[in-house]
Amino acid sequence: MECHIEAPRATKAYIEALLPSMLDQLKLTKSRKFLYIKVEKDLEALGETVPLQGLDTYLVVIRSTRDRMALGTTLAHELTHVAQFAKGTLQLTPKGKRWKGKFYGRRVAYLQQPWEIQAFQKQELIFRRAID
C-alpha cells in the first residue's frame, strides 16, 4: 500500500516506523489503494477514516499528541477501519453505514457500532506488535 504522511518531522518518523508492521498485520501491504495520513492539532475526535470515492484513497486523520502510545493506538484503530473498508466489510451509504451486509443508521451509539467494537478490540494488540 502506497502512502503519504503529513505530520511534523518526529511524528512522521514515528508513524513511518509503525506503519509497515501495522499494514502487514491488517493484510493491507499488497493493496493498490493509496493511504493518506494527516496529523492535525484541532481535530475534535482522536481519529477519523474516510474512503475517498473515485480516488482509490483512504484518508486517515489523527489528532496530534505527544503521547506516543495514544498516537500509536489511534493509528492502529484507524487502520483497522481502512482494512474494514478495503475488504468491503464496512461500507458507507448516504444514510449510514453497512457492516457485513446489515445497515446501521446514524443514530446507533458510537460504542454500539460493530466496526468500532472490532477496532477497539484490535488497536492495542496491533500497536504492541508494531513496537516489538
CA distances to 74, 90, 113 from 93, rounded to whole Å, are: 24, 10, 15
Q: What is the pLDDT of residue 75?
A: 98
pLDDT at 54: 86
2-131 carries CATH number 3.40.390: yes
Q: What is the mean pLDDT of each run of 10 residues along the chain (132 residues)?
A: 96 98 97 96 95 93 96 98 97 95 95 97 98 94
Q: Which residues pair with 50 in a beta bridge?
A: 59
Average pLDDT, the chain: 96
Which three cell numbers mark 106?
446514524
Tell me the pLDDT tens digit for each residue of 40-67: 999 999 999 999 988 999 999 999 999 9
Domain boundaries along the sequence of the chain: 2-131
State the pTM of this model. Answer: 0.95
